[in-house]
Amino acid sequence: MGVFGLLFLAFSSTLLLLFNLSTAQYRVAKLCLGGNYTTNSTYEANLSILLTSMSNNSTNPNNARFFTSTVGSNSDGIYGLFQCRGDCTSESCKKCAKTATEEVTSRCPFKKETVLYYDECLLHYSDKPFVSNLHLDPTVHMVNDACITANVNQFTRTLSALMEGIVARAVFNSSNLFAVGETYFTSSVNIYGLVQCTQDLSPYDCRRCLYSSIFQLSCCDTRQGGRVVNPSCIIRFEIYNFFGPEAIISAPAPPQITAPPNTNTTNPRQTNSSKRVVIIVVSTVTTVILIATVAISYSLRRRKIDGDVTQMRNGVDEISNVESLQFNFGTIREATDNFSDANKLGQGGFGSVYKLKFTQGRLLDGREIAVKRLSRNSDQGVTEFKNEALLVVKLQHRNLVKLLGFCLEEDEKLLIYEFVPNASLDHFIFGLARNFLINYFSLSSLDPIKCTYLDWERRYQIIGGIARGLLYLHEDSRHRIVHRDLKAGNILLDAKMIPKIADFGMARLFVMDQTEDSTNRIVGTYGYMAPEYAMHGQFSVKSDVFSFGVLILEIISGQKNNCFFQSEHAENLLSYAWKHREGGTALKLIEPALKEQYSRTDAMRCIHIGLLCVQEDIALRPTMAAVVSMLNSNSVTLPLPSTPAFFVNSREPLSTGDNAGHTDQPLQPFLPDQSINEVSVTEIYPR
């Protein structure tokens, strides 16, 4: 090939690369809704006028980022809304508006309602008035195909805390209902989050929309990024910086103080002497300050450690001799081979869990135990450690994990538990359920043997065991305890597959006759949180009942709440179960791996009880005593459930026929390969 041929090839390759970059710039999720209009109709003419008007408005500096428009009236009327992302530039906003208005009719041909979500803007038009009204459905999940491979629980907790902070900024401190934020995860990875509502919403409706979307983030568990999109709001997270230029707000550098010009003439010897005096004085003062600081820090640290041990012993002495519960750190370190990875069982939210066995000595007579070693650098971990130890050591029930002791020496905080060999429930039930993700992203499924190993009888026994454990916490123990983080990952299964509720780091102890409490610090796992807790920080035993209802539906369906794709609108599991029960097809919810080998009566009863537990009205949810009674006796009459919390009311009826889902899909995401872009911004900042 000659020189001109090589030059032509290089030039062509460059053009192709530039073309690919330009076409990949706009990734879009489309929602094609409503009925159809006809060619050359008045509606089509009005739509053309609306789109032209919206494209022109994007060049108006007064309302370029957000505007609404109406064309026509009655059956031919069209209502439109356009909004740019809060962190994009004016030029990017104009380009996105131009692209959206030009492409919308080809992406959803002849549809009377369409929502297009690009990276940098949103376009929504409809034949029905929708402006200033909250619309939570349909919901789109866009999942990054890269996985988090380590510290998954810690990632989930960190992400939840980040999103909570961003939502608060967007709703209460932002004029355009938009905010972005960043938080530290590891030395090489930060998490970036973004939330935005359409500006026609009230702050209250915006908060409802964002929390409803965060509730669905369980669809993106173990993922490096994801989005939840509906017509009224969007949330997104990634482990690379995807913010636009106007989102990066750096604190201004402090002004440099310039010394005024020296107008006095002084003797050089006097100057040198003065300098020596200043240096001596400054050095002496600095040394004294450093010594005092070190002494005070050591005193406070020693007092803190002594106080931790004293408080721990005061709590433990209520039920047992402290010497029989306190383990020696050196002994545990030796038994775990200095906490080697070979003995590591997993990574929890506040530290690692190790397996060890005392083959010598009298401590546990050779029994296997598990040690939870909390992170030294976690201030939150200290609180969680005290909470978990002081609570769990008082609890004795077959369906609660048993705390055998603790260790609190210097910076080390260890909890010693009985060893539960079969890991957590989520390893067993969430394997065959993610067919959509497996097929769409070519993911490998979890162990199918574990999924099929849970036959109907075992699942039913697990549901009953969890219910009895919760009943003990709520009514039968010395104190009423609200767990606040009940989920499949916190249910451990022993060698006989008996469930044991674990991880009491988030639990709250109620005083006598106390029925509810509130907090400004929302903790737990979205997807299992009751709405009154997720949105307002109010919790009670009925919050645990809600989580238990979610668990029931997950156990019998083998699907994680909000992370399944059985319907074309990707609604959450609660809504899906409710609609099938209302439509007389509740048994479609049952895990296909069971292959009809289950009790239809018990299955229907479990679905019914699960829906009773997840009702939005707190007063209508049953107590755990009532739930246990319902599970134990078929003679107990069940009340009719009302609409579940976070109910997704699709605009189209749920299809139950053999051809369900054969029509146009509302979501067509385009997700290119994404790389990590490390930056050092650490603030949550609204725009």
Instruction: Output DSSP code: residue 472.
Output: I
Residue 389 has pLDDT above 80, yes or no: no
- Cis? peptide before 138, omega within 30° of 0: yes
CA neighbours closer than 13 Å in the CB half-sphere of residue 24:
10
Instruction: Determine the pLDDT at residue 296.
Output: 59
Instruction: Determine the pLDDT at residue 14.
Output: 39
Residue with the bigger pLDDT between 566 and 61: it is 61
Residue 131 has pLDDT above 80, yes or no: yes
Q: What 3 state SS string does 55-94 have?
A: HHHCCCCCCCCEEEEEECCHHHCEEEEEEECCCCCHHHHH
pLDDT band at 21 (very low <50, low <70, confident <90, very high): very low
The owner of tokens 């609108």 is 569
Distance CA 535, CA 581 (A): 27
pLDDT band at 513 (very low <50, low <70, confident <90, very high): low
Q: What is the mean pLDDT of the chain?
A: 74
Residues 97-126 pLDDT 10s: 999 999 999 999 999 999 999 989 999 999
Residue 675 has pLDDT above 50, yes or no: no
Give the DSSP H or E segment for 202: none
* Residue 210, burial from CB neighbour count under 10 angstroms (0-12, 13-18, 19+): buried
Of the candidates 233, 43, 194, 16, which has an alpha carbon nearest to the alpha carbon of residue 125?
43
**234-248, 483-497, 518-532, range with the lowest pLDDT:** 518-532
Residues 264-312 pLDDT 10s: 434 444 444 444 544 555 556 566 566 666 555 555 554 544 444 444 4
Residues 635-666 pLDDT 10s: 888 999 998 987 655 433 333 333 333 223 33
Domains and CATH numbers, the chain: 25-126 (3.30.430.20), 140-248+673-686 (3.30.430.20), 322-418 (3.30.200.20), 426-632 (1.10.510.10)
Locate 339 and state its tokens.
């906490």
Residues 167-198 pLDDT 10s: 888 887 667 899 999 999 988 999 999 999 99
Phi, psi (rounded to 5 degrees) for 252: -60, 140
Give the DSSP H or E segment for 134: none
Q: What is the mean pLDDT of residues 220-232?
A: 89
Q: What is the mean pLDDT of residues 396-410?
A: 84
Q: Annotated binding residue at 372? A: yes
**106-110, 315-319, 341-345, 549-553, range with the lowest pLDDT:** 315-319
Cα→Cα distances 424→338, 345, 461, 492, Å: 25, 11, 15, 4
> pTM for the whole thing?
0.53
pLDDT band at 435 (very low <50, low <70, confident <90, very high): very low
Of the candidates 167, 185, 196, 197, which has an alpha carbon nearest to the alpha carbon of residue 224?
185
Instruction: Determine the pLDDT at residue 665.
Output: 31
Residue 678 has pLDDT above 90, yes or no: no
Angle between helices 456-471 and 624-632 (to 10 degrees): 150
Residue 396 has pLDDT above 80, yes or no: yes
Distance CA 595, CA 159 (A): 37
**113-117, 197-201, 405-409, 413-417, range with the lowest pLDDT:** 405-409
Cα→Cα distances 17→9, 14, 326, 421, Å: 12, 5, 65, 53
23-32, 271-280, 365-374, 589-598: range with highest mean pLDDT: 589-598
Q: Please identify every residue annotated as catalytic.
A: 485
Residue 129 has pLDDT above 80, yes or no: yes
Q: What is the mean pLDDT of residues 342-357?
A: 73
Residues 563-622 pLDDT 10s: 654 544 446 889 889 999 999 999 989 988 787 788 999 999 999 999 999 999 999 999
Percent of the chain with pLDDT over 70: 68
pLDDT band at 356 (very low <50, low <70, confident <90, very high): confident
Residue 81 has pLDDT above 50, yes or no: yes
Distance CA 429, CA 555 (A): 6
Residue 409 has pLDDT above 80, yes or no: no
Instruction: Determine the pLDDT at residue 564.
Output: 52
Residue with the bigger pLDDT between 320 and 415: it is 415
Residues 556-571 pLDDT 10s: 998 888 565 454 444 6
Instruction: Determine the pLDDT at residue 472.
Output: 93
85-89, 221-225, 440-444, 466-470: range with highest mean pLDDT: 466-470
Of the candidates 425, 434, 429, 669, which has an alpha carbon nearest to the alpha carbon of residue 564?
434
Residue with the bigger pLDDT between 600 and 256: it is 600
pLDDT band at 216 (very low <50, low <70, confident <90, very high): confident
Distance CA 120, CA 90 (A): 11
Instruction: Determine the pLDDT at residue 433.
Output: 35
3-state secondary structure (DSSP) of residue 4: helix
